[in-house]
């Protein structure tokens, strides 16, 4: 006889898989929307790599596009918070979330299903941007094992952004508020080591950039991919791999419980 905990776990797994499939079905019915989201980072790579790359000086005369790619894939993971926010806020505003809550299903399946679907979305976006990088001359130079580790750090950042997006969507419940979210996310993306060295910034901004969670992931990916980076002596730069693990875990530890609690109190 199946124990109650095993039955509940199987129930939660089945419901999560069903709601993940729901999100995938939406993408299949609207492939144009999916393509726009996936190709936008490619546009940024081409724009910064070819339009602005000639004006950028990388240490030791290294190729700017090899320097750029780790930063652009990390920014793609960061900007994924907007995708998560829009999907969850739209369901909440249209009453879909309330209808799902009324069904006899595992209570956490809606948010976990969304998290799994958006993680798959992040993996697709990552593959597209890295594929674009290969086509323009980028490549990992420290072997497949470290390259896989870098991809893992990128997906960990995306996972953290998912829970931030879920929480903010359940808190605000308005799809149009994604514009306000962009005014916060985009400066966070650019106030990092993605395009320029923090040492070239004013001291207060350099400190923000050095401790920016995105900078940790970018620096770690450059190290693991074996791509050129800025010469940096700050503590965050020297411990970028450790911080690229720690920052997302801290964000998940904060926003996952907040998202679940907000989900449980939606009707209040």
- Identify whether 192 is part of a domain: yes
Q: Report whether 162 contacts 118 (CB < 8 A).
A: yes
Structural domain containing residue 155: 11-264
Tens-digit pLDDT profile for residues 95-114: 877 777 777 776 677 788 88
pTM: 0.89
- For 60: left if phi > 0, alpha if psi spans -120 to 50, otherwise beta; the answer is left
Residue in 88, 85, 154, 117 with CA at minimum distance from that of residue 21? 117
Instruction: Tell me the range of 99-108, 110-119, 213-222, 224-233 where mean pLDDT is highest.
Output: 213-222
Please give the tally of structural domains in the chain: 1
pLDDT at 61: 63
Q: Report whether 126 contacts 155 (CB < 8 A).
A: yes
- Identify whether 82 is part of a domain: yes
CA-to-CA distance for 171 and 248, rounded, in angstroms? 21
- Identify whether 2 is part of a domain: no
- Identify whether 4 is part of a domain: no
- Identify whether 3 is part of a domain: no
């Amino acid at each position: 006889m199946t124990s109650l905990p095993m039955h509940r776990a199987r129930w939660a797994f089945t419901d999560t898989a069903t709601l993940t499939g729901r999100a995938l079905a939406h993408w299949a019915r609207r492939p144009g929307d999916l393509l726009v989201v996936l190709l936008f980072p490619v546009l940024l790579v081409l724009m910064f790599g070819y339009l602005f790359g000639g004006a950028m000086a990388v240490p030791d005369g290294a190729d700017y596009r090899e320097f750029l790619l780790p930063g652009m894939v990390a920014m793609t993971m960061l900007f994924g918070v907007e995708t998560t926010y829009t999907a969850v806020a739209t369901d909440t505003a249209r009453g879909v979330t309330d209808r799902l809550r009324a069904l006899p299903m595992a209570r956490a399946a809606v948010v976990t299903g969304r998290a799994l679907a958006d993680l798959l979305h992040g993996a697709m976006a990552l593959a597209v941007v890295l594929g674009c990088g290969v086509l323009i001359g980028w490549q990992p130079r420290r072997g497949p094992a470290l390259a896989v580790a870098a991809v893992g750090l990128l997906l960990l950042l995306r996972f953290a952004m998912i829970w931030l997006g879920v929480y903010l969507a359940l808190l605000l419940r308005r799809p149009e508020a994604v514009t306000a979210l962009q005014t916060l996310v985009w400066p966070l993306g650019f106030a990092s080591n993605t395009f320029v060295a923090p040492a070239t910034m004013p001291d207060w901004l350099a400190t923000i950039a050095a401790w920016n969670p995105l900078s940790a992931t970018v620096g770690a990916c450059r190290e693991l991919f074996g791509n050129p980076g800025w010469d940096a002596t700050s503590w965050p730069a020297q411990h970028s791999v450790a911080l690229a693990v720690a920052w997302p875990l801290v964000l998940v530890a904060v926003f996952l419980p907040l998202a679940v609690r907000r989900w449980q109190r939606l009707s209040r």
